[in-house]
Amino acid sequence: MKILHVISTMNPETGGVCEAVRLLAEGLTDAGFYNEIASVDHKVYHSDSIVTQHALGPKRGPWYYSKQLMPWLLKNLTRFDVVVVHGLWLYHGYAVNKALKQLDRNAEGILPRFMVMPHGMLDPYFQQAKGRRIKALRNIAYWALVEKNIINNADELLFTCETELLLARKPFKPYYPKRETVVGLGVQSPPAFTLSMAKAFLETAPDLQLKPYWLFLSRINEKKGCDLLLQAYKSLAERAAAIGDISHLPNLVIAGPGGEMAYGEQLQQMVRQSVILNNRVHFPGMLIGDAKWGAFYDCEAFVLPSHQENFGIAVVEALACGKPVLISDQVNIWREIKDSGAAIVEPDTAEGTFNLLYKWYKLSAQNKQLMSGAANGCFEQYFSEYANIERFSRVMHGTDSSSTNKNKLTDQYAIIS
């Protein structure tokens, strides 16, 4: 079976969707499927990947338009059995839908099954968040003109978890997908820890030598709750200093792209101006390869107080490294992780974020160790790539029995990722 994945960009600095697509396509290839990826990038990212990639850019404007994409789709779509559009609101989804209609009118070959994977982009958060009023109005108009046709024309919508599926039904009307299926996401098991990983990470943050730390690893963005995290850490540090316990407080690492943007600069300025934060909070930038895995393996716990997180690949990668996670209840997979005993979960508020850190800080060494053990088990049960590829394979072959239409709630959810 041949599968085409169409996405706006495979640039790893744009967030987790491109990484999810890469892992999915490579996992399906290992399972015997043939996969290609088309994007509107100006170059091929992950050039060492086993999956053929087509960079059909350069993209233009906020819609990510590319004049190369439509002709390529018209020429190549009939080579595939399935086409999956990853992500919404941009030109690539419009182009696939339009190309399929044109090919159908012209009776040019057998058309592939058309699937859409929103990756959380139908979450009501984006219509309700402060500061997004203009974008929310734009989305309403774009839904009426374009996006509803893509969603309702697709043969199947694919979701990473049951929470995402249910949330997707709320913000826009008319919403009449033909089929809705939870396929989850899978993450590859990390490479085994080596001393070179620890060394690579410490080269990005040399002041951390032999110091324990908590790790945030994601885009440095307001949606991720970075400001809440920094304020909560400052409050906890002040409390620890007041009782003479500051030496036992782990450092905080805020890693990821975005530090050079206005929001990231504000956070770093806050650290530089604070006596208690300076030399305790570190911004090593975007971490990849050994440096990333070194950061995961050596941290005490992973923390992500996000205001909206459809899946959270970094959360799952932390679990795979045996690290408990301190997350908000806006990370859609929090229930599975908490039920496994591998997470502390709180609301995405200032108080909730402080409680994330404080509860872990006061936890006994024995209970911290128990949570670390639970993290590995949680990953294997819910988020390993093997279970995900098995589920996705059934969907590709049309043999999955858990699909539903919008008028029927899905069966009790058990994420397979």
pLDDT at 228: 98
Q: What is the distance, to the nearest Å, from the Cα of residue 281 to the centroid of all Cα atoms in its chain?
A: 24
> Which pTM was predicted?
0.78
Tell me how far apart the alpha carbons of residues 218 and 214 are, in angstroms, rounded to a whole number.
Answer: 13
- What confidence category does residue 381 fall into, taking pLDDT thresholds of 50, 70 and 90? confident
Who's near 44: CB < 8 A, 6+ residues apart? Answer: 10, 53, 55
d(CA 291, CA 211): 16
CB 310 within 8 A of CB 119: yes
User: Is the CB of residue 379 less than 8 Å from the CB of residue 319?
Assistant: yes
If phi > 0 it is left, if psi is from -120 to 50 it is alpha, else beta; for residue 133 that is alpha
**Confidence band of 188 (pLDDT split at 50, 70, 90):** confident
Q: What's the chain's average pLDDT?
A: 92
Closest residue by Cα to residue 229 from 240, 216, 238, 247: 216
Q: Which domains are present in the chain?
A: 2-186+385-397 (3.40.50.2000), 195-382 (3.40.50.2000)
Name which of 28, 20, 68 is nearest 46 in CA terms. 20
> Rounded to 5 degrees, what angle do the CA atoms 132, 138, 142 make?
140
Q: Report the distance separating Cα 398 and Cα 392, nearest Å.
A: 10
Give tens-digit pLDDT for 16-42: 789 889 989 999 999 999 999 999 999
> Which pLDDT tens digit goes with each residue over 197-242?
999 999 999 999 889 999 999 999 999 999 999 999 999 999 999 9
